[in-house]
Structure 1
Amino acid sequence: MPAKAKSARRPRTSSRPAEPSAFTARRPRAFLQGFANGLNVIRSFGPQTSAMTLSEVAKLNGLTRAAARRILLTMQELGYVEAHGRTFQLRPKVLDLGYAYLSSISWIGIAQPIVEDIVAKTRMPCNGSVLDNQDIIYVLRVSTRVEIRADLAISIGRRFPAYLTAMGRTLLSGLPPQDFEDYLASATIAPLTRRTVSNPAALRKVIASDRAQGWSFVNQEHATGICSIGVPLRDARARTFAALGIGWVVTDESPEKTRDRVLPVLLAAATAINRLLRVHGSVSGP
């Protein structure tokens, strides 16, 4: 029997402490809780929490004031946070953590010029993402000169629930069957628009269809007026490791017509990237 969807809570699109593992709450015996707490403190800073007091950091992360104080003082000593009176803020050095990951992904350098060509041909922004627990996270983006709508002004590192986006569904369609079932059992699946596929059984059918056709199309399920398509990037073993996607604002042209016009460009680009990756050997990351 398909798992029932959880509801009554809006899916997260901002940074917050991550799940302890891919789709379960199990932790190995060697798990360092103190180290995990420090990483969670870094992730708890965001647009609405750019500066926090010690008490706010402790409350948001489920820590005692003493534990939060030790973490903040350690990070301050290492240069990752700074104090201004009673509040703490992240310092630019935090970007080193993200850059270490991005610089280790060999496929981004190969894909970048091809993605730029996609943008030149379609005049639409193009993105690359990977699956991280229940979300996708943007690791590559080439923008147009002007972003038409704030919904599309996306930066590297941005997260969205996987089930809501075309790239997310593309990545979910590439999961081994049991991993996908684990995702369905643990994900918070809730509608954001009247078009959102929020029933696990229905989502399972959509993902199966996307897997068979080799691409995904989402029509105003994440936000009214926003559509997207996604295609997979695959390694030498035909495993999906990332997705390319294009999002656009609905205009006088029907979403389906825009999809049919842009999809061949995106598919051809993905084929070219996959071919180059095979020539260069293995894929580094995600």
Structure 2
Amino acid sequence: MPQPTNSSDGDEPRSIGVGARPKDVVQSLERGIIVLTAFDAEHPSLTLTEAASRCGLPRSATRRFLVTLVELGYVTATGRRFALTPQVLELGYANVSNFTLADVCQPHLNSLVRSLRSSASVTVLADSDVRYVCRASVAGAMSISIKVGSRIPAHLTAGGRVLLAALPEPDLAAHLSSASPPPTGGATPDPRGDRLLRELATVRNQGWALADQLLDVGVRALAVPIRTRSGRTIGALSASVVESQEPSRAFVARCLPRLLETAGAISLELRNGIELQHT
């Protein structure tokens, strides 16, 4: 919370901030925001005296700000105590609700690529496929040619398997029943067979999926779920390499901790009640 730097016993607001300030700064607006941010998890309600002390403002000025915020509907007054109302959520919702999943994930992907030196992507389920909503690649490194918006059968990708494993059983059955069977005699598992169901059960239990040369020869990918704060899986974060000499076990050991860390950071940015668009 911003803190004023000087004290005053009078009714005149004090100087806020350090150093020279632009002459066009609206000090009353700044102080009103300081009063709003005085409330937090440890201080869900405040008396006038407590609010003035936390803000470093005179009681009379703090009272005027609180009365104004009550009138606007952002603060409620019960007896001698003040508290924020849910209406304060509207201050950020109008902007945050327009964010796409790609907006949230892309900066994390860019950082992940620099760290792992492998391609990274975020996918979501689209019928029996996964759709790529954002990607990042290592400059100059070999990678598969997949663009944002591309769709691939979910069971052929690590991200798709993470997403399928998170589905309730009736939804999973519906997804797999609509998938096309593999070519006769191929090594690709039948999406409607018991083998894939057993593999998805393993993914569900361990919390990650490895797809080793399922999509194409030489392509290896590792994926973890992206969850909202309520625990709902809304996407999958994956790292992939092409024609790597690194053994699968070493690839998992190297990439899994960083993938889990990044997925956790993305989840922290997702807010309950805000439906992010996938495109």
Q: Which TM-score bucket, shorter chain as reference?
A: 0.5 to 0.7
C-alpha distance in structure 2 between counterparts of 1:269 and 1:206, whole Å: 24
Q: Indicate the SS of the match to 2:130.
A: strand
How far did residue 184 of structure 1 move? 2.1
Relative distance call for 1:136 and 1:192 in structure 2 (3 A) is farther
**Partner residue in 1 for 2:266:** 273
- How many residues are paired up? 181
How far did residue 182 of structure 1 move? 1.1
Relative distance call for 1:261 and 1:195 in structure 2 (3 A) is farther
Q: Indicate the SS of the match to 2:239.
A: strand
Which amino acid letter does the alignment assign opposite residue 161 of structure 1? P
Residue 164 (1) aligns with residue 156 (2): yes
The ranges of structure 1 where at least 4 consecutive aligned residues each deviate by more than 4 angstroms after the TM superposition are 191-195
Residue 110 (1) aligns with residue 65 (2): no
Q: Is the 8 A contact 2:229 2:268 kept in 1?
A: no
Residue 234 (1) aligns with residue 201 (2): no
Q: Is the 8 A contact 2:128 2:176 kept in 1?
A: no
Residue 141 (1) aligns with residue 147 (2): no
How far did residue 269 of structure 1 move? 0.2
C-alpha distance in structure 1 between counterparts of 2:207 and 2:220, whole Å: 18
C-alpha distance in structure 2 between counterparts of 1:276 and 1:192, whole Å: 44
CA distances 1:42-71 after superposition (whole Å, capped 9, x unpaired): xxxxxxxxxxxxxxxxxxxxxxxxxxxxxx
Q: Indicate the SS of the match to 2:270.
A: helix
C-alpha distance in structure 2 between counterparts of 1:167 and 1:111, whole Å: 15
**Partner residue in 1 for 2:181:** 189
TM-score norm. by structure 2 comes to 0.60
CA distances 1:190-242 after superposition (whole Å, capped 9, x unpaired): 15996432262111111111111111101111211111111111123311111
**Partner residue in 1 for 2:59:** none
Which amino acid letter does the alignment assign opposite residue 213 of structure 1? Q
Larger relative contact order (Cα-Cα within 8 Å, sequence gap ≥ 6): 1
Which amino acid letter does the alignment assign opposite residue 209 of structure 1? T
C-alpha distance in structure 2 between counterparts of 1:158 and 1:184, whole Å: 19
Q: Is the 8 A contact 1:128 1:242 kept in 2?
A: yes
Which is greater in Rg? 2
C-alpha distance in structure 2 between counterparts of 1:131 and 1:193, whole Å: 27
**Partner residue in 2 for 1:220:** 213
How far did residue 129 of structure 1 move? 1.0
Task: For 1:46-61, list aligned pairs within 5 A.
Answer: none
TM-score norm. by structure 1 comes to 0.58
**Partner residue in 2 for 1:122:** 116
Percent of residue pairs identical = 33
Of 221, 232, 236, the residue aligned with 1:243 is 236
Of 125, 129, 134, the residue aligned with 1:131 is 125
**Partner residue in 1 for 2:246:** 253
C-alpha distance in structure 2 between counterparts of 1:145 and 1:192, whole Å: 37
Which amino acid letter does the alignment assign opposite residue 218 of structure 1? A
Which amino acid letter does the alignment assign opposite residue 140 of structure 1? C
C-alpha distance in structure 1 between counterparts of 2:185 and 2:215, whole Å: 7
Relative distance call for 1:267 and 1:138 in structure 2 (3 A) is same
